[in-house]
């Protein structure tokens, strides 16, 4: 769905601040449409200077719109445990159980997204997700580089059986080096790569062809075609491909493609509790890889607590 007019009213919006134009433009558009009473905002210390101007502009906009902006909460890519605690504690303190939420995942790192979804699932909060596409991006240059050490998320580690080989399942994005880092780190016996369909943002040349070239000599690599902007479709495709692996492998899921696909993998985790979710960090991002704001994709996420 691309029309914000069909978004339902919720009292709370949760977002992570960014230096991208679509962060500020999208949040303003959301506030005008959803008419919340409160906005919960996180930001990352490593890019605090980059996001500072938009955070300040958004604070002024919230004041004029009579929306309560809770004090923004700092997180850090370099301190995952402290960030996890901040996300969990602040969310539980600021949200009433079963309170409807609008989750803006547009500029939300997947580690934060998955943790927030886990918390809201425990609280059985009805969840509406929103993703604003960029109007233009610079993927022809570079998106991110200098990949860091992958990590399994707290409370989303699944079950790892001694003696089993690892299967790595990745929804890929434009950064091939981050996927290579995942493969080097986990040394999987089997790799399943979900490649985005279509040629939006030069996808065929910058994504599909690069992965097929990078992994054409690797054994036990399987390609899965997915539409990373279609939540139910990507969830069903990954469940169907991942579930058989669980009989003989420890399965690790990771997401580097469109954020809608990241939400889909969280739902795969809900369907298949034994799998683990892994975040693949990057130590450097391109400050100008996107500009403007495009279509809005949104829907409702069934977010029941995990058993």
Q: How far apart are CA 135 and CA 188, in angstroms?
A: 37
pLDDT of residue 117: 95
Task: Look at strands 136-137 and 290-291 and give their pairing.
Answer: antiparallel
pLDDT of residue 175: 83
Query: Taking a C-beta distance cutoff of 8 angstroms, is the pair 138, 21 a contact?
Result: no
Can you read off the two tokens belonging to residue 117?
Answer: 């979804």
Burial of 120 (0-12, 13-18, 19+ CB in 10 A): buried
pLDDT of residue 149: 93
Query: Taking a C-beta distance cutoff of 8 angstroms, is the pair 155, 307 a contact?
Result: no
pLDDT of residue 290: 74
Q: Report CA-CA distances (Å) from 78 to 49, 75, 144, 149, 194.
A: 16, 9, 16, 10, 28
Task: Tell me the residue ranges of DSSP E strands in 150-220.
Answer: 151-152, 165-171, 190-196
Q: How far apart are CA 95 and CA 93, in angstroms?
A: 6
Residue 193 exposure: Cα atoms within 13 Å on the Cβ side: 29
Q: How far apart are CA 84 and CA 80, in angstroms?
A: 6
| Closest residue by Cα to residue 174 from 209, 224, 215 | 209
pLDDT of residue 35: 94
Instruction: Give the pTM.
Output: 0.91
Sequential pLDDT tens for the chain (307 residues)? 446 778 989 999 999 999 999 999 999 999 999 999 999 999 999 999 999 999 999 999 999 999 999 899 999 999 999 999 999 999 999 998 888 999 999 999 999 999 999 999 999 888 999 999 888 654 556 666 667 899 999 999 999 999 999 999 999 888 888 899 999 999 999 999 998 876 665 555 566 677 777 777 677 889 898 887 889 999 999 999 999 999 999 999 999 988 999 999 999 999 999 999 999 998 777 777 777 898 899 999 865 444 3
Domains in the chain, please, with CATH?
4-135+292-301 (3.40.50.11700), 144-285 (3.40.50)
């Amino acid at each position: 769905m691309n029309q914000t007019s069909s978004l339902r009213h919720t009292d709370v919006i949760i977002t992570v601040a960014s230096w991208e134009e679509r962060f500020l433009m999208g949040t303003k558009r959301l506030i005008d449409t959803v008419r919340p009473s409160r906005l919960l905002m996180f930001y990352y210390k490593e890019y605090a200077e980059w996001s500072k101007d938009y955070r300040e502009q958004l604070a002024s906009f919230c004041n004029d719109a009579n929306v309560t902006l809770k004090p923004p909460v700092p997180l850090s890519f370099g301190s995952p445990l402290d960030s996890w605690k901040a996300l969990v504690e602040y969310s539980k303190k600021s949200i009433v159980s079963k309170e409807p939420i609008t989750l803006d995942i547009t500029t939300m790192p997947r580690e934060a997204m998955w943790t927030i979804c886990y918390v809201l699932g425990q609280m059985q909060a009805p969840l509406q997700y929103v993703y604003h596409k960029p109007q233009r991006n610079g993927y022809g240059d570079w998106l991110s580089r200098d990949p860091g050490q992958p990590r399994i998320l707290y409370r989303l580690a699944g079950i790892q059986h001694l003696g089993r080989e690892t299967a790595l399942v990745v929804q890929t994005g434009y950064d091939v080096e981050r996927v290579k880092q995942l493969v080097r780190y986990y040394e999987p016996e089997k790799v399943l790569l979900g490649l985005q369909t279509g040629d939006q943002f030069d996808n065929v040349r910058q994504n599909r062809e690069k992965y097929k070239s990078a992994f054409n000599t690797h054994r036990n690599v399987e390609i899965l075609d997915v539409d990373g902007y279609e939540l139910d479709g990507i969830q069903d495709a990954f469940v169907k491909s991942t579930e058989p692996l669980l009989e003989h492998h420890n399965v690790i899921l990771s997401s580097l493609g469109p954020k809608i696909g990241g939400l889909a993998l969280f739902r795969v985790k809900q369907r298949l509790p034994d799998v683990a979710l892994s975040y693949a960090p990057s130590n450097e991002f391109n400050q100008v890889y996107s500009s403007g704001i495009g279509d809005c994709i949104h829907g409702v996420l069934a977010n029941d607590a995990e058993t």
